[in-house]
Structure 1
Amino acid sequence: MDQNWNDIRFFLALSRTTSFVSAATQLKVTHSTVSRRISALETALQTKLFVRTEKGCRLTSAGEQLLPLAEELEKAALKFQEHVPDRDNQLSGTIRIATPDGLGHCFLASRINALQSKNPLLEIELIAVPMYYSLSKREVDILITVKKPTVDRIIARRITNYRFGLFASREYLEGFPPIQKFGDLAEHRFVGYIDDLLYDQKLRFLEEYSPALKTSFRSSTIIAQMNALKAGAGIGVIPYFMAHTERDLVPVLPENYLEREFWLQVNPDSKKLARVREAIDFIVEQMLSQSHLFLSLPEG
């Protein structure tokens, strides 16, 4: 039986996404194409690789045995691409970047065009949602997180520290008692995360100010929280780099801030590709050259 690399690509994509639709999106084909290619692979191997369930496609025992072999072929394919003359020097292809929602929406999205202007054949996919994707499963090429990774095989570097503070709209503050000390916060409304939907315990910002603070509006994303603050919903914790573009938000007790880190992570095999290295260099340069946005309060 002689299967080509494309057959293995379809197998890997479905094993990682567990959905024909998601695998199709990743491979830029139709879901029926994914289904057809998997069925053809199963026929050629004369064994069932996936069990179709209401919750998605699950690997059979035969599929689980094939998975590590398929991943080895994937590594070999990446090495082959690296050694094709001038292939990666063209800086073409797709780069998928996953970030926390605030960084993706309010910093990278407005700057990534500079990378594509320099490399017009690059296609960028920015996943700016509050959850982590897997580098080891090749769901993304570059991953930015708010905590230091613990996976040994992943290459990681700290990009920068960044600060948070309490903010509220001028309209809200004018309608409520003045705040001069922590004790005054008890008379105010707060905006924060939904506890059971937190994707990282490092996001329990309000508890660090005071465990007694109660939220009256909660959201799973920092973007929604910021928009609620702008509308006068209360006081919330916002990163400085987001507050820099929101002139109607005012710092509350500005001398009291929180600090976190941004970590950039990449799979060692993916980092061999020039387009991935170029994207990493671009992201790091953008964040370091504008470090004042991450560490300083907005003026005025």
Structure 2
Amino acid sequence: MDAQWDDLRIFLAVARAESLSGAGRVLRIDPATVGRRIARLETDLGAPLFAKSPTGYALSDAGQRLMGHAVRVEQAIEGVAEEMAGSAGGMTGQIRIGAPDGAANFVLPQVCARIGEANPDLEVQIVALPRVFNLTRREADMVVAVSPPTAGRLSVQRITDYRLHLAASRRYLRDHAPITSLDDLKGHRMVGYIQDMIFDKELDYMREAALERVSLASNSVSVQVNWVRQGGGIGVLHDFSLPFVRGVVKLLPEAFSLTRSFYLVRHADDRRLERLNRFAAALADGVRSEVARLEALT
């Protein structure tokens, strides 16, 4: 194989963005140039690397095989850069974190802001998506997840537990029938997830409350929190979100309480990169402390 690192860099960008235009934005080069470079690489290797369609670029079998090699080259180059820069100073470069939007909205901003203050040359990106991230394609450098993955070459660290309770606004409670037991919930509007968009069984809170009908549904935790805050209904909310929403209180905490966990997930090969190791340690410590601080306020 005669491909240079610049060819592999462009290949990785297309594989991760699944389009020439997306790769061009990341690389800051014209999409037509990206396309020519991919075509040249495919000619050099004698195999198509992508299956092209109107919906985007998907890796072919040959592309899947090249992906692993290209990622290892990328990691080796990053490792050399780290070693040359030394690890005694502050962290630098860009780190992208994938997270469910509950963590992304209510926990990670404070944590990452503090890490950024201590490392002014570090660029942190938080990608909040209600789905599972693909670390193999490097959609993120690391992921905060609500359940540990069971497949792939991944490193998994349990960060901390967090709690959820039924909650409603004081205005809603004032204007509707009293709630003294879980049975009373059946006469109230419930706020929760869109059932067929729940991407992890750990998020199926309503099933545990034996409630099947959700009147106001969204795949976004932030939308659910705002519905509850505005008096739209009763939801199952993270305790760590409650300090951000005035006028919202827990309901029946003795009768209904859920405990879940956050996990930090990384690609196994990334543990050789000291910069990511340092950031992962700071992130885990920060999330653990911030969840404890916010829950103590409720």
Taking the aligned partners of 1:290 and 1:2, their CA distance within structure 2 comes to 49
Aligned to 2:167, what secondary structure does the other structure show?
strand
| 1:175-194 correspondence to structure 2 within 5 Å | 175-194=175-194
Structure 1: which 5+ residue stretches go unaligned? none
Tell me which residue corresponds to 2:223.
Answer: 224
Go from structure 1 to structure 2 and tell me whether the alpha carbon gap of 1:186 and 1:165 turns closer, same or farther (over 3 Å shift).
same
Taking the aligned partners of 2:229 and 2:17, their CA distance within structure 1 comes to 37
Is the Cα contact below 8 Å between 1:100 and 1:128 reproduced in 2? yes
Aligned to 2:8, what secondary structure does the other structure show?
helix
Taking the aligned partners of 1:51 and 1:257, their CA distance within structure 2 comes to 47
Aligned to 1:243, what secondary structure does the other structure show?
helix
| 1:84-123 correspondence to structure 2 within 5 Å | 84-86=84-86, 89=89, 91-123=91-123
Tell me which residue corresponds to 1:52.
Answer: 52
Tell me which residue corresponds to 2:232.
Answer: 233
Mean CA deviation greater in 177-186 or 12-21: 12-21
TM-score of the two chains, using structure 1 as the length reference? 0.89
| 1:116-265 correspondence to structure 2 within 5 Å | 116-151=116-151, 153-211=153-211, 213-255=212-254, 256-265=256-265
The answer on 1:24 being equivalent to 2:57 is: no
Displacement, 1:270? 2.2
Structure 2: which 5+ residue stretches go unaligned? none
TM-score of the two chains, using structure 2 as the length reference? 0.89
Instruction: Describe the superposition over 1:103-162 as per-residue Cα deviations: whole angstroms up to 9, x where unpaired.
Output: 111111233222122211111111012112122222211111111221363111111100
Mean CA deviation greater in 49-58 or 88-97: 88-97
Instruction: Describe the superposition over 1:55-104 as per-residue Cα deviations: whole angstroms up to 9, x where unpaired.
Output: 21133454345444434433443443344352795622110101110111
Aligned to 1:227, what secondary structure does the other structure show?
helix
Taking the aligned partners of 1:279 and 1:75, their CA distance within structure 2 comes to 16
Aligned to 1:290, what secondary structure does the other structure show?
helix
Taking the aligned partners of 1:198 and 1:173, their CA distance within structure 2 comes to 28
Displacement, 1:207? 1.4
Is the Cα contact below 8 Å between 1:154 and 1:268 reproduced in 2? yes
Aligned to 1:220, what secondary structure does the other structure show?
coil
Displacement, 1:204? 0.9
Is the Cα contact below 8 Å between 1:81 and 1:88 reproduced in 2? no
Residue type at the aligned position of 1:218: A
Displacement, 1:6? 1.3
Go from structure 1 to structure 2 and tell me whether the alpha carbon gap of 1:187 and 1:56 turns closer, same or farther (over 3 Å shift).
same
Tell me which residue corresponds to 2:15.
Answer: 15
Taking the aligned partners of 1:277 and 1:198, their CA distance within structure 2 comes to 31
Taking the aligned partners of 1:41 and 1:88, their CA distance within structure 2 comes to 39
Displacement, 1:177? 0.7
Instruction: Describe the superposition over 1:158-209 as per-residue Cα deviations: whole angstroms up to 9, x where unpaired.
Output: 1110000001111111111111111211211101100111111211101111
Is the Cα contact below 8 Å between 1:91 and 1:274 reproduced in 2? no
Aligned to 1:167, what secondary structure does the other structure show?
strand
Residue type at the aligned position of 1:6: D
Displacement, 1:295? 4.8
Q: Percent same amino acid among aligned pairs? A: 35
Aligned to 1:254, what secondary structure does the other structure show?
coil
Is the Cα contact below 8 Å between 1:161 and 1:262 reproduced in 2? yes
Aligned to 2:10, what secondary structure does the other structure show?
helix
Taking the aligned partners of 1:44 and 1:233, their CA distance within structure 2 comes to 60
- Backbone CA RMSD of aligned residues: 2.4
